[in-house]
Amino acid sequence: MTITKETIESAKGRFNIYTLVNATGAAVRLSEIGAGIVALTAPDCHGRLADVVLGYAQPTDYFYDGPCAGKIPGRYANRIARGQFNLDGTDYQLAINNGPNALHGGPEGFSNKIWQSEPTESGVVFTLTSPDGDENYPGTLQVRAEYIWNDKNELRLNISATTDKKTVVNLTNHTYWNLCGENRGTVLNHHMQLMCSRYLPTDDTLIPTGEMAPVAGTPMDFTRPKRLGMHLKKDFPALNYGKGYDNCWVVDDWKPGELKLVARLMEPFSCRLLEVSTTQPAAQVYTGNWLAGSPLNKGGLRPYNDYEGVAIECQGMPDAPNHPNFPSQVLSPGETYRHTIVFALKTI
């Protein structure tokens, strides 16, 4: 493993980008902006390398980008209804930044901060301190995100957090994947399988109703591999609300702390396969329905178009603080929030 570091100047201060190259020549680039994955080169079935992660021409374009490309959003990834929740009788009001709701921790969330970093033998550890009252969340939160890259082309992300006051936390990774290679068209011909027989229906602002509904007989059924575009334009509430898939699936037989395979993404021409495993209870799948207008892509010639990438965001459930039947995302002093996500790049 070789690890190199590049330092970039920005209006928000200096930040570093690390490049990790394994013994096969496959590589990952990681940025201190949002502790993000900004590139990942993986071989196709003929051994040809391509960057399969969406990203931007300018390293500073990852600040405040609408797509949140590759980064760790927080303190609460996904949506909280009307930006409101209650803890032990105290009401909290977050910034509203997605229709009537709070999204991804707010406009100054974790994805727009410069994290601290330290390289290791096989990866990089990123750390962030979120002070009490940051974006109106209670408690000082200490966050650690460790990326590990190996010679099997597996990228492991271990996320942990502690707090000095009861708070809510939901952390994920928001990488957009295109297994043809970024800037190579839509992902609608990719095939996806989810080990999830239920999903979370939502209202028209994408806030869960509280129900965990069976996917059987609906366009939400990915229990067997299916083209992402097969039912994307179906007249179905979940698809109408988001202009495509932007929905949360419930991991089958989830048990706290158990690492489970939850998703397979396959591309038939390159024969690349992405397997996603996690300890998280749910997976949000977003087919890049609003990518148009993004910063210029890595070639620097154009923004991405809608549906050119898909995010598989392993996480706690959206709006869980307002749904007692969902797995709790409350973190108390003396406890440790701890989850793992593994992205394994293979060929078929």
Q: How far apart are CA 143 and CA 329, in angstroms?
A: 15
Residue (of 28, 62, 44) closest to 148 by Cα position = 28
- Please indicate whether residue 313 is annotated as part of the active site: yes
Catalytic residue among 135, 146, 308, 313: 313
Both tokens assigned to 338: 């701890």
How far out from the chain centre does Cα 302 lie?
A: 23
Residue with tokens 């749904």: 323
Helix, strand, coil shares of the chain as percentages rounded to 5? Answer: 5, 40, 50
Give the chain's end-to-end CA distance (angstroms, integer): 25
Do residues 42 and 272 touch, judged by C-beta distance below 8 A?
yes
| 82-88: Cβ within 8 A, 24+ apart | 84/322, 85/168, 85/321, 85/322, 86/321, 87/138, 87/166, 87/167, 87/168, 87/321, 87/330, 88/166
- Please indicate whether residue 339 is annotated as part of the active site: no
Catalytic residue among 174, 190, 323, 339: 174
Catalytically annotated residues: 174, 313
